[in-house]
Amino acid sequence: MYTVYGIPNCDTVKKALTWLDTHQIPYGFHNYKKQGITAARLKNWSSQVGWETLLNKRGTTWRKLDSEVQASITSEKAAIKLLLENTSAIKRPLIEKGDQVIAIGFEEGTFAKVFKK
C-alpha cells in the first residue's frame, strides 16, 4: 500500500488523490498538519530525492518566509530544520511505498508510469 503525504486542502494533493481514486490505487493519507513528520523521515527522503526537491520554493509558505531565512537554507541540515518547523514547505504530495519515495508532486504522465498495473 502507498502512503500519500501532504495537506488535504492543497490543490495538487487533491488532484493526486482524485487520480489515485479514479485508477483504484489503494493508499493511506498522512496529513502533515495533524500528524507532523519526523526528522528521520525527512532525512530518508532527502537521501533519495535531495533536499532541494523536498523544499517547495513555489508555495506560499516559502514566499512568506523572511529573505534572510530563505537565504540561510543552503544545506540538508538547514532544510530539514525548516521543514520540521514549516511542514507546508514540503513539496507535496510525496508518495511512499515502504520507505521508498515513489513520486513527489503531481504530474499525470508520471503517475501513469509509476502506477502502471
Is there a catalytic annotation at residue 40?
A: no
CB atoms within 10 A of CB 30: 18
Catalytic, out of 4, 5, 6, 10: 10
Residue 44: domain span: 2-114
pLDDT in tens, 18-48: 999 999 999 999 999 899 999 999 999 999 9
CATH (domain of 98): 3.40.30.10
The predicted structure's pLDDT at residue 117: 62
DSSP letter (8 states) at residue 20: H
Q: What is the model's pTM?
A: 0.92
User: Can you tell me which residue has the cell 495533524?
Assistant: 34
Assigned C-alpha cell, 46: 532527502
Q: How many domains does the chain have?
A: 1
Q: List, for the chain, all residue ranges whose pLDDT scores fall below the cut of 70.
A: 117
Q: How many CB atoms lie within 10 A of CB 69?
A: 14
